[in-house]
Structure 1
Amino acid sequence: MHKAQAITEELKSKAEVYHGDQVCREKFSLLLVELGFPNGLLTIQDIQECGYVKEIGFVWLKLEKKREHKFENILVSYDNVVTAYVEPNKIKNLTGIKARDFLLWFTLSEIYVNGNPQGPVITFRSIIGLSMSFPLSLFEGGFEEEEAKED
């Protein structure tokens, strides 16, 4: 089981730290794209703080409250604090994110991008070793405002 990395003052002193929803979404989306992830992977709103310690690849997001987002048939739940280590095409030691495919919730530990003959895929791996892969195109297209949903 993965243990969440504590966001200490020492760690913060080595990080690029941003505050406010808009700037955090912009900075984090740019980082994800730079690392080879689709620009629509980050769908979280109400981010209060985000940080990136480039030398070790550690990132965090602090949210105002827990959030959920639906990508076609996958429901993703974000905790108040999300942490991970990032490198090109891979997010590992992930904490604070669960995904539900059909009826089961999976605590995610890793997300990675790789190619196959049908094109690039993104794979979500749970802490118990189960994984789900989807076409990368499912997560492209950028952020959509939640208020655009119809009642």
Structure 2
Amino acid sequence: MTLTIPDEVRAKAEIYLGDAAGQEKTRLLLHEIGLPSGLLPLRDIIECGYVEETGFVWLKQRRKVDHYFAKADRHVTYGAEVSAVADKGRLKKITGVKAKEMLIWVTLHEICVDDPPQGKLHCKAIGGLSRSFPVEAFEADDGRVVVPRNVGGVGGGGAAAAAGNGNGAAAEAVEKKVEAAAEGEKKAAVAEEGSKGDKDAAGVDGVDKVEEKLKETSTAEQVVQGEAVAAKN
């Protein structure tokens, strides 16, 4: 069965294309809702979509994946298209996920943890069958650490900003240029006034001119620093 995402849903979603972005968003989402990081061991993700308003998430991969959770002694298969509604401590209304129970495959519709946490994860299948396992049995063992941040995405009104866009580095470089330019202008202003006429003729008038020049330089510096702050944001 093909998973069709209506245009109005896509318009509100954060959409991530490619395996790297899809893997990162999937791992981050599980972390944010309090589920173990290895619960969705998908491969070759084509598209990952997430609607923050409703919690609806969908994932499309090139082909279905059969995975064996050794610590739970359970085989689970993930279809080429998987969807669910993410909520605190659970995934509900799941489609595309089946677990092997004895000799048959049962369709899972909800996976959740205890609230308050008791270290157990509960898998509920259509028909009322439920099984509980230690949460750690579904933690990823690849050593990757989830670092919450915006992941580059495309889509409608809920699209995420691209991570690592370089604005921070650019702003820092601008600030350094601002400081250097301002210091140079101050020195130039002092030198210019000090070189006019002899020292006795400059007197108080020369000092006043230097101070006036420094005020103008300070104002220009504030304007450029404002541009640097804007670049940061």
TM-score, length basis structure 2: 0.57
Q: For residue 105 of structure 1, what is the amino acid of its counterpart? A: W
Q: Which has the larger radius of gyration?
A: 2
Cα 1:65–1:71 shift into 2, 3 Å: same
The residue aligned with 2:82 is 82
Cα 1:54–1:142 shift into 2, 3 Å: farther
The residue aligned with 1:52 is 50
Secondary structure in 2 aligned to 1:31? helix
2:164 paired with 1:134 = no
**Matches of 1:8 and 1:95 in 2, distance apart?**
16
**Matches of 1:91 and 1:103 in 2, distance apart?**
25
What is the deviation of 1:141? 3.2
What is the deviation of 1:102? 3.1
What is the deviation of 1:5? 7.2
Secondary structure in 1 aligned to 2:114? strand
**8 Å CA contact retained: 2:66, 2:75:** yes
1:100-115 equivalences under 5 Å are 100-114=100-114
Q: For residue 40 of structure 1, what is the amino acid of its counterpart? A: G
**Matches of 1:75 and 1:111 in 2, distance apart?**
15
**8 Å CA contact retained: 1:121, 1:134:** yes
List gaps (5 residues or longer) in structure 2. 144-233
The residue aligned with 2:34 is 36
Secondary structure in 1 aligned to 2:10? helix
What is the deviation of 1:39? 1.1
The structure with more helix, counted as a fraction of residues = 2
The residue aligned with 2:96 is 96
2:10 paired with 1:21 = no
C-alpha distance after superposition, 1:50-86 (max 9, x if no partner): 0000101100001111111110121111111111111
**Matches of 1:18 and 1:116 in 2, distance apart?**
32
TM-score, length basis structure 1: 0.86
Post-superposition, which runs of at least 4 consecutive aligned residues in structure 1 deviate over 2 A?
141-144
**8 Å CA contact retained: 2:89, 2:115:** no
Q: For residue 91 of structure 1, what is the amino acid of its counterpart? A: L
Secondary structure in 1 aligned to 2:54? coil
Aligned identity (percent) is 44
**Matches of 2:68 and 2:142 in 1, distance apart?**
12
The residue aligned with 2:124 is 125
**8 Å CA contact retained: 1:94, 1:108:** yes
1:56-71 equivalences under 5 Å are 56-71=54-69
Q: For residue 103 of structure 1, what is the amino acid of its counterpart? A: L
List gaps (5 residues or longer) in structure 1. 145-151
